[in-house]
């Protein structure tokens, strides 16, 4: 049973060499892989799922910052050892959409104004830290280098 989600066709294409190496660790040659897909498609599907989970596990182990940007709010996450910290930057100004270039530039100039609010919180991880991180990604967050988190962390702290 899969822990995360299957990689997309594009992701598999990008990770073609890694997948070949993965099959090799399972002692599956290219010829055997073709046969497996034809004769035992469910076994081939299982291999795709196992590989997907391995890739996700590696990605999630290395994720330190995530962000989810909506028209009025920035959700900025920092993954620490036992907890995830969150900074929410929210604009109350009508007509501003920070997902657009203009709206984002407005936020950069006006983050100290009364039209911008900040909230912070932290949450302990469940027993499965990576699943907690993955659930935030499934909700639309992307892994980043943390520039926005660190910028706003300097303002709120």
- The reply to whether 82 and 130 lie within a common domain is yes
The one-character DSSP state at 4 is S
For residues 134 and 142, the answer to whether their CB atoms sit within 8 Å is no
Predicted confidence at residue 5, as pLDDT, reads 94
Angle at 3 between CA 51 and CA 37, to 5 degrees: 40
Predicted confidence at residue 157, as pLDDT, reads 82
- The reply to whether 28 and 98 lie within a common domain is no
- The reply to whether 36 and 102 lie within a common domain is no
Is 56 inside a domain boundary? Answer: yes
Is 2 inside a domain boundary? Answer: no
Q: Name the CA dihedral angle for 152, 85, 141, 45, rounded to a multiple of 10 degrees.
A: 150
Is 4 inside a domain boundary? Answer: no
- The reply to whether 34 and 52 lie within a common domain is yes
For residues 153 and 80, the answer to whether their CB atoms sit within 8 Å is no
pTM given for the model: 0.87
- The reply to whether 79 and 139 lie within a common domain is yes
Query: What's the rounded Cα separation, in Å, for the pair 83 and 67?
Result: 16
Tokens of 56: 């996700």
Question: What are 82-139's pLDDT values in tens digits?
Answer: 999 999 999 999 999 999 999 999 999 999 999 999 999 999 999 999 999 999 999 9
Query: What's the rounded Cα separation, in Å, for the pair 37 and 112?
Result: 58
The total domain count for the chain is 2
Q: Which domain holds residue 112?
A: 65-156
Angle at 147 between CA 96 and CA 109, to 5 degrees: 35
Predicted confidence at residue 101, as pLDDT, reads 94
Question: What are 35-66's pLDDT values in tens digits?
Answer: 999 999 999 999 999 999 999 999 999 999 99
Tokens of 109: 């100039």
- The reply to whether 140 and 77 lie within a common domain is yes
- The reply to whether 24 and 75 lie within a common domain is no
- The reply to whether 81 and 93 lie within a common domain is yes
- The reply to whether 143 and 116 lie within a common domain is yes
């Amino acid at each position: 049973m899969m822990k995360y989600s299957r990689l997309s066709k594009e992701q598999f294409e990008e990770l073609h060499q890694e997948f070949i190496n993965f099959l090799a660790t399972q002692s599956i040659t290219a010829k055997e892989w073709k046969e497996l897909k034809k004769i035992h498609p469910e076994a081939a599907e299982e291999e795709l799922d196992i590989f997907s989970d391995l890739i996700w596990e590696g990605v999630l182990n290395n994720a330190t910052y995530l962000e989810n940007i909506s028209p009025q709010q920035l959700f900025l996450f920092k993954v620490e050892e036992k907890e995830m910290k969150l900074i929410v930057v929210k604009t109350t100004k009508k007509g501003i959409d920070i997902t657009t270039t203009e709206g984002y530039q407005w936020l950069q100039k006006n983050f100290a104004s009364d039209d911008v609010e900040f909230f912070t919180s932290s949450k302990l991880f469940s027993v499965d830290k990576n699943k907690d991180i993955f659930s935030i990604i499934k909700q639309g967050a992307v892994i980043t280098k943390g520039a926005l988190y660190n910028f706003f962390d300097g303002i709120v702290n």
